[in-house]
Structures are given as C-alpha cells and as structure tokens.
Amino acid sequence: MARRKIGVIGGGFVGSTTAQRLAEKELGDVVLVDIVDGMPQGKALDLVQAGPVCGYDSVVEGANDYSSLEGAELVIITAGMPRKPGMDRSDLLRVNGEIQQKVVSGIMEFAPSAMLVIVSNPLDVMCYVAHQVSGLPKNKVVGMAGVLDTARYRAFLAMEVGCSVRDIQAMVLGGHGDSMIPLTSTASVSGIPVQQLISAERLEALVDRTRHGGAEIVNLLKTGSAYYAPSASAVAMAESILLDQKRIMPCCSLLEGQYGIEDTWVGVPVILGSDGVEKIIEVELSSAESEALQASAAAVHDGQTEVAQMINIT
C-alpha cells in the first residue's frame, strides 16, 4: 500500500522543520516546495539521509513547482514574506495575499482535493484568501494559530506553577495577533482552576506575554522568527486529520453564525478529523472574553474586505 503524500509549501525554517517532523512521525511521504532553485531539493536530500539514523522510511522530495503535489491528501502552506522595515500592515496584506493566491492556485491545479493547513501570516486573512481561491468546502481549509498560541500560553502557565506542561489545560481563541484571547475562565491545572494557583495580577501578565509571544522571540533572535513551536503545531493538526484522531484544537475556521460571528475566519475550538474541521464547538465565555472575541473578529473581517479589493477576489 502506497504511503499518503503530504505537501509543504515554503522551504524556510518553518517549512523545512515541518517537513522534518512529518517525516519523523512517518505520517506519509513529503514534498517540500519552494521557488528557490536547489534549496528544497538539498533540504529534502538531507532529511532522507537522516532517515537511517532516526529510523524513518518516509521519502522526502524537493521541488520548485507544484506538479510533484499530484495526489497529495494534505498541504501545509508556510510561504509568505515577513514584514520588512518601511512596510505597513496594508503592504504586508497585499504582498502575502498575492503570494497566497499564487500558491493555492498552483496546489489546486495538481491536488484539487487536498486539505489545506494555513500557517502564512496574517493568518486569519490568509485562510480567507485560501478558501476563496481554492473553492474548497470550508471544512477543508483550516488555519494554524490557536494551537501555537495555546502552546505558548500552556508553557507560560506551567513555568509559573512549576508543573508539567502535560497537566495544563488551556485555550487561546480569536485572531492571531494582539487581539487574541487567552481564556482564563476555563484554564486549569489537572482540573484545578488557575485562579486558585496564580494571582490575578500574574495571570494577566501571562496573558499579555502570550499575546506577544511571537514578538518576544523575534526580538531575541533579531534576524528571524519562531519555527520550532509553529511547525510542531502544524504537524499536530495534520496528524489529527490524517489519522482521524478527532482532537479538539483551537483553529482558524470560517464562522457562519457561531459565537454571533458571520462570514469571518476566527480561531475557535474545533474537532479535527479525516473530514477536516468536522465540528465547531461553542464554549461559554465570560462577558469580557465574548466582547474581545467580537472585536477580534471585526478586525479580521476588515482585513478580509481589504485584501479582497487588493487582489481582486470575491
């Protein structure tokens, strides 16, 4: 029986580390696509040569075009440009919107039934672009943001309590950025509400640190951004889909009335299985959390409208 094929678009740090994790978990054979001649081929060959040491048989192939994606069941899109000095939000929206448009069109030409996991930023708006361009059902397009933001939140909570990250249950909803909502009302440590273990002042500080978790790493690295946690988060989503694990994860999905939000891509808890986003789960939020989610969704919707006009998609 042939192994399933998984595509990864973008051979940078996030993309290549994603390809590595997919291969090591033996979720399928991997095609790493990037426009830079030789780069994805070289990284793919390096990953194949790591197989005998790490004990995996996954085949990793590098390519500069999308034809190698033919037959792929799932494609993870990491391609995009980071904001450069002098670029404002609209500039970034236009550049990455155009990149996303080209990438998704290329994927659909050779793998028209593949599910799409979006990692490119600005994440929520890029999910909108991918959905519009691909023409796929809404359940087959999903964004990776909440899983990453939740991982950061859980890590900070565990560091504060001094316990294993495995015992932290927490979730981050909303848009991927400063408007995200790390939930405090439902966060717990082995069922113990975090408010019983962490003061309100410290908890608010951890929420704020989570909101700026990506920027904190950028400021430390100075010449790049995070890739270990983002790649791990994307692969966790892919694993749940490919193995039909039906895990409940906070993912960017299209809301059509849930949480009182219409026609907007927002991070909410979903069940991820072989049919992609199989169910959106509505949890009871505090009034403050609900207001924050509405504000976050409004900002995303503005971005959707803006990019649609910029790159002429409807």
Point out which residues pair with 76 in neighbouring strands. 8, 117
For residue 163, the model assigns a pLDDT of 98
Catalytic residue at 212?
no
For residue 1, the model assigns a pLDDT of 62
Greater confidence (162 vs 91) lies with: 162
* Total domains, the chain: 2
Q: Percent of the chain beyond pLDDT 90?
A: 91
Residues 173 and 212 in one domain: yes
Query: Which among 104, 112, 131, 101 has a CA at the least distance from the CA of 70?
Result: 112
Residues 134 and 167 in one domain: no
Mean pLDDT of the chain: 95
Residues 79 and 224 in one domain: no
Residues 125 and 162 in one domain: no
pLDDT at 103 over 70: yes
Q: What's the predicted TM-score (pTM) here?
A: 0.96
- With beta carbons less than 8 A apart as the criterion, state whether 73 and 7 touch: no
Name the residue range of residue 239's domain: 146-311
Q: Which of 131, 176, 212, 301 is catalytic?
A: 176
Q: Which residues of 36-63 are buried (b: 16+ CB within 10 A; e: fewer)?
A: eeebbbebbeebbeebeeeebebbbbbb
For 297, phi then psi, to 5°, come to -65, -40
For residue 84, the model assigns a pLDDT of 67
Last residue of a domain, one of 125, 143, 161: 143
Residues 158 and 124 in one domain: no
Kindly state the average pLDDT of the residues 182-186. Answer: 94
Residues 40 and 178 in one domain: no
Residues 285 and 183 in one domain: yes
